[in-house]
Amino acid sequence: MTIQEFITQIANDGDYVNHSLVLKSYDDYGCVYKWLQKCNNLAIRKEIFIELDIEEVELELLNKTVIASIEVNPAK
């Protein structure tokens, strides 16, 4: 799965707050995205670390392969 496919899954979630997905940090080893998710009349901040394939340094971020991911809790 690529980063583009991964973030498309997040954006297609019915509880995703439109236009809230932000790239928080990035290097050749991984990246962190944050976004808002609806919960009743509130929004919960979500954050996830995505491990990248170090051999794909020449590719644009959205085309890189997701090796693993883990949710950051609590997101700040």
**Each residue's pLDDT tens digit, 6-53:** 999 999 999 999 999 999 999 999 999 999 999 999 999 999 999 999
What predicted TM-score, i.e. pTM, was given to this entire model?
Answer: 0.91
Categorize the per-residue pLDDT at 76 as very low, low, confident or very high, splitting at 50, 70 and 90: low
Q: For residue 15, give both structure tokens.
A: 């509880």
Neighbours of 66 (CB within 10 A): 18
